[in-house]
Amino acid sequence: MAEIGKDIAKAKQILEAGDLVGIPTETVYGLAGNALDVNAVSKIFETKNRPSFDPLILHTSSVDRVLDFVIEVPDALKVLADSFWPGPLTLLLPRKSIVPDLVTSGLDTVAVRIPSHPLTKELLSVLDFPLAAPSANPFGYISPTQASHVNDQLGSKVNYILDGGPCEVGLESTIVGLENGEVTVYRLGGIDLRSIEDKVGKIRQIAHSTSNPKAPGLLQSHYSPTKPFVLGELDKLIETYSNKGIEFAVMSFSDSHESVEKNRKIILSPNADLHEAAKNLFASMRILDSMDVSVILAELLPEEGLGRAVNDRLRRAAVQQ
């Protein structure tokens, strides 16, 4: 298994040698490598078993350094950068040739963000290169929100994991770009759409993709546990699976569903707080996936604020069931 610690100098040394490090961000833990080193980027794809047509997000420490890797930040997107960086916002920007094709899957844009986690901010500030850092999990599985999650899944393939504690946001970043002059949201995430619209006015949102996505994290099937994950009205699902004699676990938004044993259910937010539910989502899915049950039953959250981003992850986790 990997060594876990808070040694910035050690992480820097490993990354400069072309190897990979697990890093904390406010969204989820990332599997990081030198974004300008094709060999290091290749290791990311290989370690995650990630398809090469799914582009990566480039992480750096400041807006000034972003301009080393992109041609420009259009005015409409600069407003968002000024408002939400550092933070869970990724911008899709026209790239410079210094960024390898492998990072962008050959596209002429690159996804960039400035994370706000203090440990990773410090690491990025001492590096001479940006980091490519998709979520530190096998491709398609539940994203990690604790260092132990990374170790459980990739510990045999990564030398070191920076331990920054549980992720504060718990959902991947919101990805925004410009398409035909319109501010376009490509992936729902840790910043809700209303906050973006407050800054730039009306936006458009595109659906996720089944192949050749324009931005990271757009594949239709993603964030999935290993057990069948069924979405619906929980009271009806509980009754149906109870009558069938099938062992199940339950993940609810705020209701307790007293008929279900306490050790077979997780409530994302007893106070019906969407931010709390988002923060707890992936860790809860992991706990349920480890239970001795045949199926996981879950429900959608209110389709508002961060509830929309959580519902996006829930639908993609259940899409093949």
Q: Could you tell me what percent of the chain has a pLDDT over 70?
A: 94
Whether the upstream peptide bond of residue 86 has omega within 30° of 0, thus cis, is: yes
| 213 or 251, greater pLDDT | 251
Hey, what are 309's tokens? 């981003």
Tokens 């750096």: give the residue. Answer: 60
Cβ distance 183 to 303 under 8 Å? no
Q: What is the pLDDT of residue 221?
A: 60
CA-CA distance, 234 to 231, in Å (whole number)? 8
Q: What is the pLDDT of residue 84?
A: 97
Question: What are 278-291's pLDDT values in tens digits?
Answer: 999 999 999 999 99
Q: Could you tell me what percent of the chain has a pLDDT over 90?
A: 87
Angle (nearest 5°) at CA 80 between 187 and 283 = 40
**CA 319 vs CA 50, 220, 222, 240, 246: distances in Å:** 19, 8, 9, 20, 21
Hey, what are 51's tokens? 């398809």
What is the mean pLDDT of the segment spanning 157-175?
A: 96
Q: What is the pLDDT of residue 211?
A: 43
Hey, what are 212's tokens? 């050749």
What is the mean pLDDT of the segment spanning 171-178?
A: 95
Q: Which of 4-13, 153-162, 312-321 has the lowest mean pLDDT?
A: 312-321
Query: Among residues 305, 102, 274, which one has the least CA distance to residue 191?
Result: 305
* Helix, strand, or coil (residue 32): strand
Question: What are 41-52's pLDDT values in tens digits?
Answer: 999 999 998 887
DSSP secondary structure letters along 259-308: TS-GGGEEES-TT--HHHHHHHHHHHHHHHHTSS-SEEEE-PPPSSTHHH
**Mean pLDDT taken over the chain:** 93
Q: What is the pLDDT of residue 321?
A: 45
CA-CA distance, 104 to 108, in Å (whole number)? 7
Query: Position 303: which residue type?
Result: E
- The model's pTM is 0.91
| pLDDT band, very low/low/confident/very high, at 208 (cuts 50, 70, 90) | low
Q: What is the pLDDT of residue 210?
A: 47
Q: What is the pLDDT of residue 121?
A: 97
Cα-Cα end-to-end distance for the chain:
32
Query: Position 76: which residue type?
Result: A
Asked if residue 29 has pLDDT above 60, the reply is yes
CA-CA distance, 60 to 19, in Å (whole number)? 18
Question: What are 58-94's pLDDT values in tens digits?
Answer: 999 999 999 999 999 999 999 999 999 999 999 999 9
Give the domains, in start order, of the chain with CATH numbers.
3-205 (3.90.870.10), 229-318 (3.40.50.11030)
Q: Which residues contact 78 (CB under 8 A, 6 or more apart)?
A: none
CA 267 to chain centre: 21
Dihedral sign (CA 51, 24, 283, 273): negative
Q: What is the pLDDT of residue 51?
A: 82
Q: What is the pLDDT of residue 284?
A: 97
CA-CA distance, 208 to 313, in Å (whole number)? 11
| pLDDT band, very low/low/confident/very high, at 217 (cuts 50, 70, 90) | low
Backbone phi, then psi, for 133, in 5-degree steps?
-150, 80
Buried b (16+ CB within 10 A) or exposed e, 100-119: bebbbbebebbbbbbbbbeb
